[in-house]
């Protein structure tokens, strides 16, 4: 079965736009490394109570975790788009065999086939 590369490219590009928008809401691009983001606090007003300080730290930790997760997904999306341009999209990075269509449908940025899922 032949993959509809344009279909997957369109899906990947749409997800890339969505991820970048989410990352922009969470923080700012790192000027020294364009592929990296820095989570910013959602509220920068002055804090007057210790409980508020603790809440802000907790919120910042959550924002950082979310930012790292989105950043990792964006990296995988960009890798998949690069592979499309190189003509190697849809091949398992472990054994170069085709990745199953249902796996790519579930995750267009998948880098491995089902057999090598744990090596991703």
What is this structure's pTM?
Answer: 0.76
User: Do residues 73 and 109 lie in contact, with contact meaning Cβ atoms separated by under 8 Å?
Assistant: yes
The helix or strand, by DSSP H or E, that contains position 34, with its residue range, turns out to be strand 33-39
**Residue 44 pLDDT:** 52
Sequence-separated (6 or more) residues with CB below 8 Å from residue 77: 12, 15, 16, 19, 109
State whether residue 40 is helix, strand or coil.
Answer: coil
Return the pLDDT at 42: 55
Number of domains in the chain: 1
Look up the CATH number of the domain holding residue 88. 1.20.120.910
For residue 99, give the 3-state DSSP assignment.
coil
Per-residue confidence band for 119, with pLDDT thresholds at 50, 70 and 90:
confident
pLDDT per position as a tens digit, 2-11: 789 999 999 9
Q: By C-alpha distance, which of 14, 13, 30, 15 is closest to 70?
A: 15
d(CA 90, CA 100): 8
Which of these, 84, 44, 82, 76, lies nearest to 60 by C-alpha position? Answer: 44
Domain extent for 76: 5-119
């Amino acid at each position: 079965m032949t993959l509809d590369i344009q279909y997957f490219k369109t899906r990947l590009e749409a997800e890339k736009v969505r991820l970048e928008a989410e990352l922009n809401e969470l923080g700012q691009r790192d000027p020294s490394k364009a592929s990296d983001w820095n989570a910013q606090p959602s509220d920068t007003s002055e804090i007057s109570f210790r409980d508020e300080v603790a809440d802000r730290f907790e919120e910042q930790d959550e924002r950082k975790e979310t930012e790292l997760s989105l950043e990792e997904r964006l990296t995988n999306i960009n890798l998949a788009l690069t592979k499309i341009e190189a003509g190697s999209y849809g091949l398992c990075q472990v054994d170069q065999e085709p990745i199953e269509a249902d796996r790519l449908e579930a995750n267009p940025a998948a880098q491995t086939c089902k057999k090598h899922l744990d090596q991703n």
